[in-house]
Amino acid sequence: MFLTVTTTHRPASDLGFLLHKHPGRVQSFALSAGQAHVFYPEASDEQCTAALLMEVDPVALVRGKTGAGDGFTLGQYVNDRPYAASSLLSVALKEVFRTALTGRCKARPELAASPIPLEIRVPACPGGADLVRRLFEPLGWAVEATALPLDPQFPQWGESRYSDLRLTGELRLADALNHLYVLLPVLDNAKHYWVSEDEIDKLIRAGGNWLAAHPDKELITRRYLAHRRTLTAAALTRLAEVDDAEPEEIDNALAAPVVLDEPDRPVPLAQQRRGTIMAVLRSLDAHTVGDFGCGEGALVRDLLAERSVERIVATDVSAHALQVAARKLRLERMSERERARLELFQSSLTYRDDRLAGLDAAVLMEVVEHVDPPRLEALERTVFRFAAPRAVVVTTPNREYNVRFESLPAGKLRHRDHRFEWTRAEFRAWTDRVASSYGYAVRMLPVGADDPEVGPATQLALFTKGGEA
């Protein structure tokens, strides 16, 4: 199998610096499934092409397999693995161009950070032309996919499932390589090795800055993870954080979110929200913090990174959400010292739970709008009377801002599991009543840009006990 990367950026031979492979030498790399070779068919100031050739050893692919099943069938040895782009070529990309995939280049750092004209050719790409366009065009590529005949000697047999693929565009080389690393096995829809939980980390690292916004992210994630439902759900949960969407796999988010993005924002709203909350907690000098309704643990991860926070109480009503959080936070790999800082358990905010008491601060991040209005008073008693932390931080969507979401139909809520969304006046009325009822002072803060007409995307209330907020 074979692919080429070509640039006309001048001097084009700088491609050798970006790939960390000298244009004047042929280099070979031993891989578990065969041998990879890198060479340059052309290298001038005007145009430079780097080629990656993967020689596959079919016997090595099945060596060590036992049993009387597929490991002994002829199909294990006679197949398209040596010729068509697949996870084998993706692994070769990672092993051979490991540093280039990260975007690091000490010799040409400004070039590594800049989009340059690129043309990538994959002469035998599986998946069909329509699917290739669906996957690559949203990423900024111009796609030319010419279907290959099943057998050139017998045109009446029709077209094969392979295309001669050419991608052209102006992108960072690191982005281009990461697109290939993820999407080649997706197009092939099969992996040559066992897919485990580690594959989620690989997918997030390679696709973290583009996959969350891709219109076919579910298809990409499912195929990349070999259709393993548990792994796919966990990966979509992590991508949902990047995209500011609650994952439907978590019990309290039963349907896909309607709003996936905030227009024209440099930083995802979810990240801005957590950043604002962490800034508030620092200003409070809070050493013991509760994340009530912690979901998949995004805020918990930030709290663990804050060394001044000595104790973290993270709860959710959803047992499945807590399982996802434990997996994402890698509880089983934590040191004893780190694990001692975190208490993760199931609890409902509409019932008294003495384990929630005695904290410096509690956070309800995007929680109240998931509670049925008749149950809000029960939540208020649990949090403000029985748990009674020194401070409470509550964030919730601002309904007035919804008109700024082009993808949100008029009158619709941002998420199908939201029981309501408050205007600024409605949120202010609720916070004033709660503060008055339970002896807190309250102050309102915006999260995200404060639109002069409709206010911020997220509204935050800081309750402080026994004094001015």
pLDDT in tens, 280-337: 999 999 999 999 999 989 999 999 989 899 999 999 988 888 988 998 898 888 888 8
HSE-CB at 157 with a 13 A cutoff on CA atoms is 9
Q: Is the pLDDT of residue 258 over 50?
A: no
Report residue 431's pLDDT band, with 50, 70 and 90 as the boundaries: very high
HSE-CB at 360 with a 13 A cutoff on CA atoms is 15
Cβ-contact 204, 235 below 8 angstroms? yes
pLDDT digits (tens, 9 = 90+) for 185-242: 888 876 555 677 778 888 888 887 788 888 888 899 888 888 888 888 888 877 765 5
Q: Phi then psi for 167, rounded to 5 degrees?
A: -115, 130
Distance CA 389, CA 376 (A): 18
Place of tokens 């047992």: 319
Of 71, 70, 39, 41, nearest in space to 55 by CA: 39
pLDDT of residue 299: 95
The first and second tokens of residue 418, run together, are 């939201």
pLDDT of residue 241: 55
Cβ-contact 129, 6 below 8 angstroms? no
Distance CA 373, CA 429 (A): 14
Q: Is the pLDDT of residue 75 over 50?
A: no
Coil/strand/helix, residue 176:
helix
pLDDT of residue 341: 94
The first and second tokens of residue 201, run together, are 């980390």
3-state helix, strand, coil in the chain (%, to 5): 40, 25, 35
The first and second tokens of residue 158, run together, are 């029709």
DSSP 8-class letter at 457: S
Q: What is the pTM (predicted TM-score) of this model?
A: 0.51
| % residues pLDDT > 90 (the chain) | 44
Q: Phi then psi for 226, rounded to 5 degrees?
A: 55, 35
Place of tokens 């990672």: 94
Report residue 250's pLDDT band, with 50, 70 and 90 as the boundaries: very low
Q: Is the pLDDT of residue 63 over 60?
A: no
Report CA Rg, the chain. 26
> Which is it for the CA torsion 226, 231, 236, 239, positive or negative?
negative
Beta-bridge partner residues of 3:
52
Helices then strands, counting H and E runs in the chain, come out as: 16, 14
Query: CA of 246: how far to CAs of 237, 291, 345, 402, in Å?
Result: 7, 16, 20, 17
Reduce the secondary structure of 61-79 to three states and give it as a string.
HHCCCCCCCHHHCHHHCCC
Q: What is the DSSP string of 399-432?
A: GGGGGG-TTS-TT--SSTT-S--B-HHHHHHHHH
pLDDT digits (tens, 9 = 90+) for 130-174: 888 889 999 989 999 888 777 788 878 777 777 889 999 999 999
Least confident of 19-28, 72-81, 84-93, 105-114: 72-81
Please provide the average confidence, as pLDDT, over all residues in the chain. Answer: 83
Report residue 394's pLDDT band, with 50, 70 and 90 as the boundaries: very high
Cβ-contact 277, 365 below 8 angstroms? yes
Q: Phi then psi for 18, rounded to 5 degrees?
A: -65, -35
Query: Which whole number is the average pLDDT over 72-95?
Result: 64
Beta-bridge partner residues of 29:
36
Q: Phi then psi for 148, rounded to 5 degrees?
A: -95, 140
